[in-house]
Amino acid sequence: MTAISTRDNRPPDIVFVIFWFAIGFAPCSSAQVELEGFCANLPRPAYSAFEKHHTSNEWFEVYEVEPNIWAIYEPFQWQEVISYLIVGTDSALLFDTGNGLGDIRAIVDQLTKKPVTVLNSHSHFDHIGGNYQFDNIVSVSTAFSLANSRGIQNEMVTTEASSEALCKALPSGVTQGSHQIKPYTITRKISEGDVIDLGDRKLEILHISGHTDDSIALLDAEAGFLWTGDSFYEGPIWLYFPETDLAAYRKSIARLAALAPQLNALFPAHNTPKAVPALLLGAQQAFDLVLEGKAEPVPMWEGVVTFQFDGFGFLMREDNTQL
């Protein structure tokens, strides 16, 4: 599960160079230049549309993307993961907790004094890293989510804390050799159709397996907001892990696309914090083209190809692009 490229939509050759650079085979000066170029463009220009909230934490950047909805962004690590704090009149929901490199609890404590529930878009390492800092964690219950709740060892995530993955020094006390995903306790199980009531905002769980079997989306039907996790973001969507089920993903992206006419905004889990709902319709159509063999694969690294479309793409195993 070690990550080997960023979530960027850069040309494949650049990602390829960074990949080889990251695993230490080709630490050439051109790769260094590309990595520096990547870092120089962070945070992404899309963030200039939002008000940046000052915090004392230097690892995360916090943006208020809607009133009482905070995007907690990790712009200095190649996953560019985004967690969201959604604050209601009674309580708050933290949707994902990032890589576990920075102190996300400190950020949350600065933003709200209300009781906080943690819910993960899915249990990949880059979304559950700060779970251990919280004692109220709700989760869907699958073998994958339960396994990941027991923690992920350093050897599986060490690349995530390597210099090649970072655009600034790690927070103090964190090293590449010590970084791990710490275990956490799921305090309540949830499932499809459950509603989390924050007082003035209700959030419905949509269990949309595919990217992983525990992937969910969060729907605020009244506001027309959809948190998509890793099932959709503006970048190459990773569908090459063994835990990905392409047939399930096809159904899930179709389900999300059907919601698009009722939506006002998407809040994805990587790269940019607010996306246009119509992109879901494009993603559904594009994924169908891929599965039908009508899209052109571009080689990325051994055994992995990408299919690029306008605003997003699909990163897939070369031998697993069709049903």
What residues line the site for Zn ion (CB under 5 A)?
124, 230
Report the run of H or E that residue 225 belongs to, with start and end: strand 225-229
H/E stretch holding 301 reads strand 298-301
Which amino acid is residue 65, in one-letter code? V
The CB-of-124 to Zn ion minimum distance in angstroms stands at 3
Give 3-state DSSP helix, strand, coil % of the chain, rounded to 5.
30, 25, 45
Q: Which is nearer to Zn ion, 91 or 97 (CB)?
A: 97
CB of 229 to Zn ion, least distance (A): 7
- The answer to whether the CB of 227 falls within 8 A of the CB of 84 is yes
Minimum separation from the CB atom of position 303 to Zn ion (A): 19
In this complex, which beta carbon is closest to Zn ion, that of residue 124 or of residue 207? 124
Can you tell me the distance from the alpha carbon of 142 to that of 295, in angstroms, rounded to the nearest whole number?
33
- Nearest approach, Cβ of residue 33 and Zn ion (Å): 29
The per-residue DSSP string of 86-152 comes to EE-SS-EEEE--TTSSS-HHHHHHHH--S-EEEE-S---HHHHTTGGG-S-EEE---HHHHHHHT-B
C-alpha–C-alpha distance, residues 108 and 105, integer Å: 5
Q: Whole-number minimum distance, CB 71 to Zn ion, in Å?
A: 17
Cα distance between residue 146 and residue 288, in whole Å:
31
Give dist(CA 264, CA 225) in Å, integer: 6
**Nearest distance in Å: CB 62, Zn ion:** 22
Of the two residues 99 and 133, which places its CB atom closer to Zn ion in the complex? 99
Name which of 10 and 124 has its Cβ closer to Zn ion.
Answer: 124
According to DSSP H, which parts of the chain are helical?
12-22, 29-40, 104-111, 125-128, 143-149, 154-157, 246-259, 278-291
Tell me the residue type at 89.
T
Judged by DSSP in three states, 156 sits in helix
Whole-number minimum distance, CB 269 to Zn ion, in Å? Answer: 7
Q: Minimal distance in Å, beta carbon 173 to Zn ion?
A: 26
Instruction: Name the DSSP class of 170.
Output: P
